[in-house]
A and B are shown apart, each in its own frame.
Chain A
Amino acid sequence: MPASASMQDIRTRYEQARAALSSPNPNLDAIRPQLSQLKVGLIQLAMETEQVLADPAFLELQRSVIELGAELSIKAGDIVAFERYLAQLEPFYFGGRLGLAESKVMYPLIGLNLLRMLSENLIADFHTMLERIDLEQLQTNPFIVHPVKLEQALMEGSYKKVWQARSEVPTPEYVFFMDILMTTIRNEVASCVEKSYASLPLADAKSVLFFSNLDGLLKFAQEREWTVSPADKRITFKAAAADACAFQGESIMKQTLGYARELERIV
């Protein structure tokens, strides 16, 4: 077993990895082994001496390494890994923060996590997370305000605003999730459109569904099984099946039998 690295050693290696990630065109594959080495080093250090866990310098280094991992996974587009890193960061970010000062990347990462929840349609988790963020940050921090505004627009149905919000991202990392969000929105809009319009001209449908060209729209229409008539240049939607009024014999039978049984017990 190799002798474990000292804390100073790990810090230097962390700085190197951080510098590599911050460069304009980072080589992600090169950073990944560095990151796992850092993690192994930290664990070895923690296993050797228990009291290092109470050392703020060690905790801060640990937090920085996890943050590095989170940022790396965003750059690589690995959502599962990102989620895992954020779960690890939770004790550092909420509650007593383990006695550490606030991290610089804390709010950008929380904002990204919020955006991830939106893009995966985890609205309940989104709101649970919001409850835990300070109100002041909630109203002023640009990294948090952006997803909050997005969520409001989404809930109202102002999809145009959501579409515009793509160009107003606070950091370039947000674009990754915004792109996923756009697909979600397009599906949302499509399900709204199906219900609320009888038919729609192709040109209008293109703008309503945020398509830049007709081909994309036609393909999308095919996926959702809409009928497109090339002659009129219109999309016609299926009428909703009106079977709500059908007589539900079985459930009524079950209910009546249930009443009979209960009454039998009373009399």
Chain B
Amino acid sequence: MTSDNTAAMEVEATPEQTLAETRRILLEGIRAQRVDISRSIRFVQRGIAAAETHYIYRALRTLSSLRKRLEPSVLADAIAANAASDSAPATRDCLNGMLALLGQQPAPAPRAGACEPEVCLFLGLLVLLHFLDSGRHEHGVELSETLAGVAAGSQRRTVDPVTSRIYFYYARFFEVAGRLSDVRTALLGALQAATLAGMKETKAMLLTLLLRNYLHYKLYDQAERLTAKSGFPEDAPNNLLARYLYYLGYIEAIQLNYSQAQMHLLEATRKAPSNTATAGFQQAAHKVYVIVELLMGNIPERSLFRIRTLRKSLLPYLELTRAVRVGDLTRFQDVVNRYESKFLSDNVLCLIQRLRHNVIKAGIRSINVAYSRISLRDICLKLHLDSEEDAEYIVAKAIRDGVIDATIDHEKGFIQSAEAHNVYETSDPQLAFDKRISFCLGLYNDSVKAMRFPDSSHRKELAYAIEATRRERELAQELENEDYDDESDDDGMDEDL
């Protein structure tokens, strides 16, 4: 066959050839997938052997790429290969259950040794992903329940990362099925077990899942009590921490604890990676953050609303911010009415309704800055208030709350702004500096704590140290000998003298 011929064939391929071509690609894909799955499983096994979680994490990292091209037949083969008869009964039943749910006939495969729970859970995770993507939620519910049972049976450190993901999908399947309240008891039980066994990641995951569960049913009291009574593990992964902080911030915002809420929400947005995959989380967190900022009487930075991933979804919030900044009640009401359904779906309408008095405060503050003396009647007109009497009470409250610094003259009916005093005479700047310095010091300490060292390097150092002490000892011995010689010399000299 000449080279011309092959070129022609490539150009005009017959239908059979295209079919063959696609099949070849498919087979290649399946082979690659098989290789990938078995490599991940080897990573898991190596992790178990070395009792090192970072091998497990490496296997888990392949999940997202495997998820996109998952073939049930390949998966079934992998499961069948691991369903050896000498594994623990719970694990074996679980693997067989997976096969039954997948509904695939696996090719007879050479049997491997006993299947570790980690491997079983990892395969289960893949099956769960397959069910989630193909919309077989009832199967997912069923399987995730068995997997949670297997996960609960084993409390090794290496199970921790896999278990936490299993629980995530467990709760997810029930959420999709609309039965979120059914898992609460199971999650609470698992939380207790994870806390006792010191499984940090699972504990962190379960806490976030429980908070989500409570918030879904608007059980803010329970959620608040849960966070108060249980500590979030310190070295939990950042994405879990970000999620936890978001829920925490939201609960605190509901309970009027705005300064804490602001801090936690801000931290949540910073801890979460800012790429397109996490845009949804960033948007949700920023929405609440903007409102909390407004409730605290701050105006969020304009640049926040310009970020590409946030711009579109934060648009209603930008208009809200504008209305609050100007202190215009009618405009504020207009924005709220216009975007009511949007705010409702974001679950923030009640928070926004609390903003009303902030709008008035902002209005009073700008008036106070602009005028050194103004009559109550004019304030009433400017802020669209109902009566002068109301205006007087409102201004009095603003003075007491420290929004403005002024005095009211009741008889003549005006308010007189106090002289603006120099901030640098107070200890405010010093406090601000202190806050920043302690932040920098905290950052330094955290980064020192977060440093990791490769395992073998300290052994090398140790060997070097042993070598050094040995040499030192030799040196000391030599010196001693020399001393001895010197002494003998001295003696000799004495004799000479």
The interface of chain A, by Cβ under 8 A from chain B, is 94-95, 123-124, 127-128, 130-132, 135, 152, 155-161, 188-189, 191-198, 200-201, 204, 208, 244-245, 247-248, 252, 255, 258-259, 262, 265-266
Q: When the two chains form their complex, are residues A252 and B430 in contact, meaning their CB atoms are under 8 A apart? A: yes
B350 lies within 8 A of A155 (CB): no
Whether B390 contacts A197 by the Cβ 8 Å rule is: no
> What's the minimum C-beta distance from A156 to chain B, rounded to whole angstroms?
4
The reply to whether B407 and A196 form a contact with Cβ atoms under 8 Å apart is yes
Instruction: Indicate which residue in B354, B411, B426, B437 contacts A244 across the interface (CB closer than 8 Å).
Output: B426
User: Does B2 interact with chain A (Cβ within 8 Å)?
Assistant: no
Known A-B contacts A127-B256, A248-B427; A266 and B444 likewise in contact (beta carbons under 8 Å): yes
Q: Which single residue of chain A is at the shortest CB-CB distance from B220? A: A128
Bound-complex Cα distance A163 to B356 (A):
20
- Count the B residues whose beta carbon is within 8 Å of the partner chain — how many? 46
A132: which B residues are within 8 A, CB to CB?
Answer: 218, 220
Which residues of chain A have C-beta atoms less than 8 A from B425's C-beta? 245
CB-CB under 8 A from A157, the residues of chain B are: 357, 390, 393-398
Interface residue B399 (Cβ < 8 Å from any Cβ of A): yes
- Cβ-based interface call for B481 (8 A): no
Partner of A128 from the list B181, B255, B400, B410 (CB cut-off 8 Å) is B255
Q: In angstroms, how far is the closest chain A Cβ from the Cβ of B442?
A: 9
Question: How many residue pairs between the two chains, A and B, have CB atoms under 8 Å in the bound complex?
Answer: 105
**Max count, chain A CB within 10 A of own CB: residue among B217, B427, B430:** B427
Residues of A close to B483: CB separation below 8 A? none
Asked if residues B255 and A124 are in contact (CB atoms below 8 Å), the reply is: yes
> Which residues of the other chain, A, contact B395 by a CB distance below 8 angstroms?
157, 196
17 inter-chain pairs at a CB distance below 8 angstroms, sorted by A residue, are A127-B256, A155-B356, A157-B357, A157-B394, A157-B396, A157-B397, A160-B389, A191-B400, A195-B400, A196-B400, A196-B407, A197-B410, A201-B410, A208-B410, A244-B426, A245-B425, A255-B434
Task: Tell me the minimal C-beta distance from A92 to chain B in angstroms.
Answer: 15
Do A197 and B256 touch (CB < 8 A)?
Answer: no
Interfacial chain A residues near B220, Cβ < 8 Å: 128, 131-132
B226 to chain A, nearest CB (A): 14
Q: Bound complex: CA of A256 vs CA of B255, how far in Å?
A: 36
Question: Which B429-483 residues have C-beta < 8 A from chain A?
Answer: 430, 434, 437-438, 441, 444-445
Pick the most buried of B390, B396, B407: most chain A CB atoms within 10 A of its CB: B396
Residues in A with CB closer than 8 Å to B284 are none
Further contacts, 8 of them, CB under 8 A, given A152-B356, A161-B390 = A131-B350, A155-B354, A156-B394, A188-B397, A192-B393, A196-B399, A204-B411, A208-B410
Are A128's CB and B254's CB within 8 A? Answer: yes
Residues B396 and A195 in contact, CB atoms below 8 Å apart = yes
List residues 396-414 of chain B with CB under 8 A from any CB of chain A. 396-400, 406-408, 410-411
Min CB–CB distance B216 → chain A (angstroms)? 11
B104: chain A residues at CB < 8 Å are none
With a CB–CB cut-off of 8 A, which chain B residues contact A123?
256
Q: How far is the CA of A155 from the CA of B295 in the complex (A)?
A: 12
B451: min CB distance to chain A, Å: 14
Residues of chain A with a CB closer than 8 A to B437's CB? 259
